[in-house]
Structures are given as structure tokens and as C-alpha cells.
Amino acid sequence: MFEDEVDTSSTKELVKFLETADEWSNVAEIVPSFNGDRDREDDISNEDKTFLSPLVSIPDVIQYLNSGVLDSYIGQVGERPKTTWEMFYSCICSGPRLPGDIENAKQSILATALIPFQNDQQIHLAMLRSLYRQLTGSKVDCPRYGHHWEDIGFQGNDPSTDLRGVGILGLINALYLVVTEETIPFSKQVYALSLKESQEFPLMVLSLNVTRICLHILRDGLLDTRLFLEKDAWLSFNKLYVSVMFHIYHIWKTQHKTISNCGFVLQEAEETARKSPEKLLNDFSTYLQLSKACKGHAVIATSPKF
């Protein structure tokens, strides 16, 4: 059973954190002003300007993965060799054995990290474009190549070069963040922070590192208990990703971190997530609940009295 109680100090800290929402809601509403906006609009072809493809959903992606594209990658998934201590620890502290369907879904996630970005797969480009539109508020389908990808934190004009470590799994995690109703407000906040001059960081580079952290946690069986109880491997994995992102965001914002601190923040996040993934999951769940509560009070306060 998941923990029902969250540490009181953590809850108070989250409440204090949420009390600054007004300041950050103003930031989140700002449409990023990119360098050379007009020039970049000119880079988008007339065809792109007249066509706006639908956003890709997570069910769309799962359907694509279940269409047989994973078949050639499943066999390449292998377990990392364990040390003697890890084998001993797993014997005495291992979680429940996963049912066959859940284990298969887990292997599918691991295999997805081996799928490279492919230009001939329309859904790959559609995921990229959905990310860009959701984060920036763009009203057009952006080109496959261009410096506009740096606006959401890729390192150059071809995002696929950043995906080599985690494959399209890195896109799927980020897509979950920006298209899932309950996490969209958080995605806007973390994007706004990534653009803040004094604390800016490359969002998608950070995101792909978080995917790597979560992938290792999944591979090493540290998420098995959650998978067993939740019965949905993809949902559990995406929730872990968002929870680690929130952990990093909270530290980055409240402790005024900068890009020079990135390595240390990622290392701390990985150590914390491996030690207690449930704590991070519960922290983000609490944040979502408090966010809804604060929003509810705001609505009540501004509602007309009858």
C-alpha cells in the first residue's frame, strides 16, 4: 500500500512554495520572445503556416509502440550485471514478482529507449512538434531542423542528436508532462523557470537526463512495487519522471540554483530517487492536491456572492 501520510515539514514547505504561485503564474503567462522572432517565422514555410497537425496523446504513442515496432528491440534489452551485494540485497528486500503482463510492459519501456528518432516515422516528428507547441504556445508546425529547437532546451538544430542516450523514450516522458491535464500547469512553470535569465537552463537536456535516471531505476527493479500495485507500467514510469522533474524544479527555484549547479542537482536527484522513489511520487502527488486546493480557494474568493 502506498504511504498515506506525507512528512509534515515537507507539506509545510510545499504550502509555502505554492503561496508564491501568483508571482509565477504571471511568468508562466508570458509568451517567450525569441531572438529574431520575425526571422524564425520566415524560416517556417507557407505550407507549415497553413497546416497545424493535431497534438499527439500518450494513448496514440502506446498504440504506435504496440503495433509491432518494438519487436526488433525487445531482444536487445538485457539486465545490468549485479554486484554480489546487489544480489544479496535483492534476495532479502525484493518486491513482489511482477505478473507477466506488467513485466512485459516494463520490458517494452526499456526497449523503447533503444528506438532512435526516425524521420520516416510521422509520429516521431509529431511528438517533437507537440512538445514545441505546448511549451511555447506556437500556432504553427515548426520545421524539422532549425535553431528554434534551442528555445525549448535542445542543444542544436537537430533534436535527434540529443536523444541518443534514451531514444524516443525521452520524447514520450516530456510529452506526458506537457499534454497531461493535471501536469500542464507544472510544465508551464518549469519552462518559465528555464527561461528566467538568472536561473536559465536547457529544459530538454535536463528532461532527457531525468529520463535516464528513471530508466535506470526501472531497470534495477526499484519501481517494481509501484508497478505491481498500480498495474500500469507506463503510467507509473511517467509519474516517476514528472516527480523527479518536480523535485529538481523545486530545488532549483527555492535554492536559486544556476546552470553551474546542474551536475550536483542531478546527482542529488538521482540518489534521492533511487533511495526512495515513493517519497518523490508522494511529494508530487501532494503538490498536485495542494495546487488544486489553492486554486479552489482562489476561485471561491473571486466568485460573486449571491
Query: Which tens digit of pLDDT belongs to each residue from 45-82?
Result: 444 444 688 999 999 999 999 999 999 999 999 765 55
Q: What integer pLDDT is reported at residue 48 of this predicted model?
A: 43
Q: What integer pLDDT is reported at residue 14 of this predicted model?
A: 58
Q: What integer pLDDT is reported at residue 150 of this predicted model?
A: 97
**Cα Rg for the chain, rounded, in angstroms?**
20
Residue ranges with strand state E in 90-234: none
pTM of the model: 0.80
Closest CA to 187 of 249, 251, 141, 101: 249
**13 and 253 Cβ atoms separated by less than 8 Å:** no
Q: What integer pLDDT is reported at residue 291 of this predicted model?
A: 86
Q: What integer pLDDT is reported at residue 242 of this predicted model?
A: 98
Cβ-based neighbours of 277, under 8 Å, separated by 6 or more: 217, 222, 223, 226, 240, 243
Distances (CA, A) of 81 to 74, 85, 114, 235: 18, 12, 18, 27
DSSP 5: -
Q: What integer pLDDT is reported at residue 247 of this predicted model?
A: 98
Q: What integer pLDDT is reported at residue 292 of this predicted model?
A: 83
The values of phi and psi at residue 58, to 5°, are -60, -40
**87 and 195 Cβ atoms separated by less than 8 Å:** no
Classify each residue of 223-254 as buried b or exposed e, where b means 16 or more C-beta atoms within 10 Å of its C-beta.
bbbbbbebeebbbbbbbbbbbbbbbbbbbbbe
Enumerate the H helices of 50-150 as residue ranges.
58-64, 71-74, 84-93, 100-112, 122-136
Grid coordinates of 133 = 507547441
Dist. CA 52–CA 48, nearest whole Å: 7
Would you give per-residue pLDDT tens digits along the chain (306 residues)? 434 444 555 555 555 555 544 443 343 333 333 334 434 444 444 444 446 889 999 999 999 999 999 999 999 997 655 555 545 545 555 567 899 999 999 999 999 999 999 999 999 999 999 999 999 999 899 999 999 999 999 999 999 999 989 999 999 999 999 999 999 999 999 999 999 999 999 999 999 999 999 999 999 999 999 999 999 999 999 999 999 999 999 999 999 999 999 999 999 999 999 999 999 999 999 999 998 887 644 333 333 343
Closest CA to 200 of 263, 261, 258, 150: 258
Dist. CA 154–CA 256, nearest whole Å: 22
**242 and 186 Cβ atoms separated by less than 8 Å:** yes
Within 10 angstroms of residue 215's Cβ, the number of other Cβ atoms is 23
